[in-house]
Amino acid sequence: MKARIPADVEMADRIFAGLTIRQLAVAGLNLAVLWSCYYLTAPRLPLVLTLALCAPIAAVGLAVVWVQPSGLPAERFLLFALRHALSPKKMTPQSDPLPPKSRSRSKEAAPLTLPLRRVFDDGTLDLGPDGVAIVARCSSLNLGLRSEAVQAALVAGFARLLNSLDGPMQFLIRAERVDAVQLLARLEQRARCLPNAQLRRVAADYARFIDSLTSGKDMLRHSAMLSIRQPHSDPGAVRGLRQRMDETGSLLRQFGVHLHPMDGAEASHTIRQSTDPSSPFNPRCGPGGVVRGSKC
């Protein structure tokens, strides 16, 4: 038995004339304001001036009712825009010193406070009131190179994974810069240790080829990660989290995706790189940052 599910299940219901409850409420409020403005100004001002005063109110009301920038209601979009304009544009982890000109609270820089409390040695993330989480790296899967039948089977397998969810799960695709200096150094070192002269020439040519690709360019690599979270942090939450990770890994292995859960050091390093890619990794980031803890 198959049932069609709409793509946008959260779409607001249309109540009257294709308008939602929110649009009808905004339109009614706008009509009330227009009527009040006309009632107060019509006996005292000429009709042209009255219409000139009412026109901006009507335009704002129509814009709020009908205009939806980026798929958001206009009032929410304006609220987010105002919040963005007033919020700091540069943030730094709390353990890092603020620039001298930004020690006062201003829009230039502000401390970055993560919801993360601790990173345990086994890779469990303590999120405080938000529960606990585990992060794993995922292998890639090229869907475009598969046949239509295989693609349909892979999509069906991923659908089974989504249908089995009983808690929060997030896939993250990141683009990371690749430092080829260490790779070139290892290639040159290994090339000198090869016993055969022809192999040494091939290795040297390959090193020059890699150097030509990376010279003057930013090399990027894509990494896929999976995060599973338990909203609560009771004693059995970590055990249930590990079980969910094992079940998810078994489902993903059916269509060629392998999970590699991170330990504490790798998870801390990944979080540190996400917040400040240019800084060296420090496993103890101070209060409010990434702190290593004992095993759960």
Question: How confident is the model over 231-241, as pLDDT tens digits?
Answer: 877 777 888 88
pTM score: 0.57
Question: How confident is the model over 210-228, as pLDDT tens digits?
Answer: 788 777 677 777 888 999 9
Residue type, 129: P
- Please identify which residue in the block is written with the tokens 């409020």: 29
Q: Which of 176-180, 252-256, 271-275 has the lowest mean pLDDT?
A: 176-180
Cβ neighbours for 167, distance < 8 A, ≥ 6 positions apart = 228, 229, 230, 231, 244
CA angle 131, 173, 259 (to 5 degrees): 65
Confidence of residue 282 (pLDDT cuts 50, 70, 90): very low
Whether residue 169 has pLDDT greater than 80: yes
Q: Which of 64-68, 82-86, 279-283 has the lowest mean pLDDT?
A: 279-283
Query: What pLDDT score does 255 carry?
Result: 79
Whether residue 190 has pLDDT greater than 70: yes
Average pLDDT over residues 145-163: 84
Measure the CA–CA gap between 226 and 189, rounded to whole angstroms.
Answer: 36
Measure the CA–CA gap between 166 and 6, rounded to whole angstroms.
Answer: 21
Q: How many CA atoms lie within 13 A of 168 on its CB side?
A: 12
Whether residue 59 has pLDDT greater than 80: yes
Number of H helices, E strands in the chain: 8, 11
Residue type, 293: G
Q: What's the gap between Cα 77 and its chain centre? A: 19
Query: What pLDDT score does 163 carry?
Result: 83
Confidence of residue 296 (pLDDT cuts 50, 70, 90): very low
Residue 24 contacts residue 15 (beta carbons within 8 Å): yes
Measure the CA–CA gap between 100 and 104, rounded to whole angstroms.
Answer: 9
Radius of gyration over every alpha carbon of the chain, rounded to an integer in angstroms: 28
Cβ neighbours for 248, distance < 8 A, ≥ 6 positions apart = 161, 169, 226, 228, 259
